[in-house]
Chains A and B, each alone.
Chain A
Amino acid sequence: EVELVESGGGLVQPGGSLRLSCAASGFSVSSHYMSWVRQAPGKGLEWVSLINSAGQTGHADSVKGRFTISRDNSENTLYLQMNSLRIEDTAVYYCARSSGGNPRERHLQRWGQGTLVTVSS
């Protein structure tokens, strides 16, 4: 069965760093587009980052240069390294798997339950 389990969230001070993990089971992270999506309290969804099956990455302008998405194929885990955190990065961060690795399969088919990141002094 496909499962995504996020971890690594918590309270961090502005300017600090945090690494989120998304442990996948039931499929290989290397064969699908994988994304991070966040949701600030009471707000809508914001796409953050993606990595495709070829290892190419993309980031939203709001996090570019501060966040890095990566994966460990041997651990079957997706990561989001978040540096220089700002108060406005406070959100629930979801890991999501696309339907497949082809362009027409980019839609986010499976989601984890999310992990809360709070940036506050």
Chain B
Amino acid sequence: EVVLTQSPGTLSLSPGERATLSCRASQSVSSSYLAWYQQRPGQAPRLLIYGASIRATGIPDRFSASGSGTDFTLTISRLEPEDFAVYYCQHLGDSPPWTFGQGTKVEV
């Protein structure tokens, strides 16, 4: 089972600042099966990134992601008020479980 560890647990930033979130896998995984989600309070999660670096439909280009092997990064170039939320990475490999990281909260 792949374990995903996200850091930091909480990121305290201001609107306009840059956010860098990390997701580290316990073993090397295929980039094709690494996704990122955003969850705002009281809402269902929303797909942001799939294939480690491909923005989902409708996602603003201030969101970018990269990585391979065991280390993956989500970057928000300039935080907008609606970006303050919790972010999760997920590995969707050939064998379940499709684990999530524990999440990173981006707060003001």
Contacts and interface: CB of A to CB of B under 8 A. Distances in A.
Interface residues of A, number: 25
B100 A44 contact: yes
A44 B103 contact: yes
Nearest to B97: A60
A44 B98 contact: no
Contacts of B29: none
B90 A44 contact: no
Interface stretch (A15-23, A70-78, A81-89, A107-115): A107-115
Most buried by B among A47, A58, A107, A112: A107
- Chain B interface residue bracket vs A: 20 to 34
Majority secondary structure, A binding face: strand
Interface in A43-101: 44-47, 50, 58-61, 94, 98-99
Contacts of B56: 107, 109
Given A104-B51, A108-B37, A108-B90, A113 B96 contact: no
Interface stretch (B40-48, B61-69, B71-79): B40-48
Nearest to A49: B96
B22 to A, nearest CB: 16
- Which 8 interchain pairs have the tightest Cβ spacing? A58-B96, A107-B50, A106-B92, A107-B35, A111-B44, A44-B103, A45-B100, A47-B98
